[in-house]
Structure 1
Amino acid sequence: MEFQFNFSINNAVEDTAGIGKMAPEVVQENESTKHKEVSSEEKQISQKSLSDCSALSQSREVTLPKKPSDPQSAKEHAMPTDVSKVLENKIMGTLPGTHCPDISVVEVAFPDPISSHSDLIPGVYEGGLKIWECTFDLLNYLSEAEIQFGHKLVLDLGCGAGLLGIAALKRNAEEVHFQDYNSSVIEEITLPNVLVNCAHQSDDDGGIIELSLTHCGGKDFNLDMLSKCRLFSGEWSEFTKLLLNSNKPLAKYDIILTSETVYNPDYYEVLHDTLSNLLGPNGCVYLASKAHYFGCGGGILLFTKFIEEKNVFKSRILKVIDKGLKRFIIEMVFKNSL
């Protein structure tokens, strides 16, 4: 099965793995600019390229909301008691070329205007329908560095397909929360992915599996694993309010995983507040990003500068992926953490 990566947001789609396609009104990357922007950050860190992958196949389209006038309200999505409506006739495949070969992904169709015009519609769609390249960078790093999730409360922030949270779940996290801006992404993509990865299913031939009720009956699920998952949608500040104002006391997160979430500088303040409000005192954020996002103006260098000015977190570069436009994995912890 083939999977689609779109390597930058809105005006440019990078082709760093040799399989991308150019979007309308592309902003071309200047070679001298590319190296100048990141030269000061070059560290003696081992570099590893991603395996080539291509288009995520289409099944049925996801309906997106109209642009709201207020921030997208947050809500928790209940786990279904009957999985037939979620998984019936779904097609899934195992992720190729990563350190997480046991993670499966269901296929999804991209609705217009997403498929033909833009990878981002601010206030309507924030990229959750596509599996972005840095997600695979972070998946690889978590495996290479043998990050431990046992007895940890984990948040997959801006989860999209939920692959990072699923990786934590499969590595014995105590509990995993998945959050995405769009409720349609949670219901149509994240939830099915969580369900298929909590099912005892495999394909001995390594091919595509069509999930049916005979394959996905309740007896086939790891119910203990499924009970560890909670799913949320909504804008970050609203999501934070939902958790902090809950009748159930919030146990703050030990680990927050997030990928491709620093593309827009307009979101840095709310992202910073979300991380500082929800991360535990000795918790850690693992964040994956490109050096720069053409068309949006954000990127890892601008975001780390923002962090320094806020003086709440300290950050360090864990890995640089130097293929095409540079990509980074960073770690963030509180300055007063042990």
Structure 2
Amino acid sequence: MAFRFNFSIEENENYAPDTHDKIESQLGSPEHRQESTEGSRQAAGPAAGCSPRLATDKPQGETPSKKPFRLKAAKEHDIPEDINKVLENKVVEMVSGLYHVNMSVVEMTLLDGSRGEDIVSKSVSSHSDLIPGVYEGGLKIWECTFDLIDYFSETEMQFTNKTVLDLGCGAGLLGIVALRGKAEKVHFQDYNSTVIDEITLPNTVANCIDDGNGTGCGDDRKTSKPPSKKFKKTKRLPDLLTKCRFFSGEWSEVSQLLLNSNKPFSKYDLILTSETIYNPDYYSALHDTLSQLLDKKGHVYLASKAHYFGVGGGVHLFEKFIEERNVFRTNTVKIIDKGLKRFIIEMAFKNSS
């Protein structure tokens, strides 16, 4: 289902919330996704701080050119006073019980390069979903995100009163699930500021304001009843949004912004991250970020493919890296053995109970 603000809706009668064909319009068929992953995963910088993305138009085996990597400064994104404007000219769909903006429409509106970081036109001109240090692919949703959402549902994961970070958030679906689960605070981080402004923040707003059926982010949407043709406009900030903060920039820069901020900050009970271990060059930055921001009794839930061909990263290499650092313990809590094997890993400090 999809609807445009202001305000139209299309109902997809064949929508099945428990299947992964819901994202094939963005990922391609399962066979194409696997081939793309195996042949064209690209390397970004040594600390890109974002989800990995495919460069599906590159020939298989092509090595990306090496460019000096510049750290991308961290920025906190304010929630606009008039949040109704956040959803203007957006087409909103529903997947896995969550509202999210149609990313293809967002890409079209950004294609002329007149706004923000000009990431879409640069991505198109380079025939790549990843431009190291420029665009880190957050305008797409990738399948391991849904693996993690499914795991939360299967295990009845408790988010109540937890502080949560959605690291490399892209669409922000993991953080939104935590928000729906009555988390105390949810923070979102993505490498690109455009992704936060055009995707993450609108998605969060869409899930926190009334859609005309009385449903909000904390409500159970497992219902066949379609959403209203228009969300109710609000004159005040929904209470759920007051729990959220949004950040863009490279991981280490965001960590320093949080740790050195004058605003109150408490370390996270849960850090959720999907497909952020595809490049071994990132492991040190990711490890440091997790160790700096995770509460001493906190847990990380990380979803990943077994191996990222063409770049060399993957679950086993990352676990070896973690073992050598001797700070965290890891536990494989779920294996999805369909196509290219995928894993969900739980991490915690070794000295935690």
Which bracket does the TM-score occupy, shorter chain normalised?
0.7 to 0.9
Q: Residue 291 of structure 1: which of 306, 309, 314 is its match?
A: 306
Q: Where does residue 35 of structure 1 map in the other structure? A: none
Question: Structure 1 residue 321: deviation in Å?
Answer: 0.3
Question: Percent same amino acid at aligned positions?
Answer: 59
Contact 1:91 1:209 in 2 (8 A): no
Question: Structure 1 residue 208: deviation in Å?
Answer: 8.0
Question: Structure 1 residue 21: deviation in Å?
Answer: 11
User: 1:183-194 alignment to 2 at 5 Å?
Assistant: 183-194=193-204
Structure 1 residues 331, 209: CA separation in 2 closer, same or farther (over 3 Å shift)?
same
2:273 is the alignment partner of 1:258 = yes
Contact 2:168 2:274 in 1 (8 A): yes
Q: Residue 343 of structure 2: which of 297, 319, 328 is its match?
A: 328
Which residues of structure 2 form unaligned runs of 5+? Answer: 2-21, 42-53, 108-119, 214-222
Q: Look up the equivalent residue of 1:89 and give its one-letter code.
A: N
Question: Aligned equivalents of 1:246 and 1:171: distance in 2?
Answer: 27
Structure 1 residues 129, 201: CA separation in 2 closer, same or farther (over 3 Å shift)?
same
Q: Look up the equivalent residue of 1:25 and give its one-letter code.
A: P
Q: Where does residue 176 of structure 1 map in the other structure? A: 186
Question: Aligned equivalents of 1:69 and 1:282: distance in 2?
Answer: 34
Contact 2:55 2:128 in 1 (8 A): no
Contact 1:9 1:263 in 2 (8 A): no
Secondary structure of the residue that 1:176 maps to in structure 2?
strand
> How large is the Cα RMSD of the aligned pairs?
2.6
User: 1:131-280 alignment to 2 at 5 Å?
Assistant: 131-201=141-211, 215-218=231-234, 223-280=238-295
Contact 2:259 2:265 in 1 (8 A): yes
Q: Where does residue 12 of structure 1 map in the other structure? A: 40
Question: Structure 1 residue 271: deviation in Å?
Answer: 0.3
Q: Where does residue 19 of structure 2 map in the other structure? A: none
Q: So what's the TM-score if we normalise by structure 2?
A: 0.74
Secondary structure of the residue that 1:154 maps to in structure 2?
strand
Question: Aligned equivalents of 1:210 and 1:310: distance in 2?
Answer: 52
Contact 1:198 1:222 in 2 (8 A): no
Question: Aligned equivalents of 1:249 and 1:324: distance in 2?
Answer: 44
Contact 2:83 2:237 in 1 (8 A): no
- Residues 226-248 of structure 1 show CA distances to partners (whole Å, capped at 9, x for unaligned) of 11110000000000000111113
2:99 is the alignment partner of 1:104 = yes
Contact 1:159 1:258 in 2 (8 A): yes
Q: Where does residue 48 of structure 1 map in the other structure? A: none
Q: Where does residue 88 of structure 2 map in the other structure? A: 88
- Residues 88-139 of structure 1 show CA distances to partners (whole Å, capped at 9, x for unaligned) of 12111110xx4xx2x1111123434535822221111122110011000000
Q: Which moved more, 1:271-280 or 1:223-232?
A: 223-232
Structure 1 residues 185, 267: CA separation in 2 closer, same or farther (over 3 Å shift)?
same
Question: Structure 1 residue 218: deviation in Å?
Answer: 1.1
Question: Structure 1 residue 85: deviation in Å?
Answer: 2.9
Contact 1:236 1:271 in 2 (8 A): yes
Q: Where does residue 11 of structure 2 map in the other structure? A: none
Which residues of structure 1 form unaligned runs of 5+? Answer: 14-19, 29-66
Question: Structure 1 residue 205: deviation in Å?
Answer: 6.9
Q: Look up the equivalent residue of 1:299 and give its one-letter code.
A: G
Structure 1 residues 85, 222: CA separation in 2 closer, same or farther (over 3 Å shift)?
closer
Structure 1 residues 89, 289: CA separation in 2 closer, same or farther (over 3 Å shift)?
same
Question: Aligned equivalents of 1:152 and 1:289: distance in 2?
Answer: 23
Q: So what's the TM-score if we normalise by structure 1?
A: 0.78
Question: Structure 1 residue 24: deviation in Å?
Answer: 3.1
Greater helix content? 2
Q: Where does residue 114 of structure 1 map in the other structure? A: 123
Q: Where does residue 329 of structure 2 map in the other structure? A: 314
Question: Aligned equivalents of 2:170 and 2:75: distance in 1?
Answer: 16
Q: Where does residue 24 of structure 1 map in the other structure? A: 58
Secondary structure of the residue that 2:265 maps to in structure 1?
coil
Q: Look up the equivalent residue of 1:5 and give its one-letter code.
A: L
Structure 1 residues 299, 210: CA separation in 2 closer, same or farther (over 3 Å shift)?
farther
Q: Look up the equivalent residue of 1:160 and give its one-letter code.
A: G
Question: Aligned equivalents of 1:222 and 1:248: distance in 2?
Answer: 20
Contact 1:68 1:124 in 2 (8 A): no
Contact 1:92 1:210 in 2 (8 A): no
Question: Structure 1 residue 295: deviation in Å?
Answer: 2.2
Contact 1:93 1:207 in 2 (8 A): no
Question: Aligned equivalents of 1:234 and 1:160: distance in 2?
Answer: 12
Contact 1:10 1:120 in 2 (8 A): no
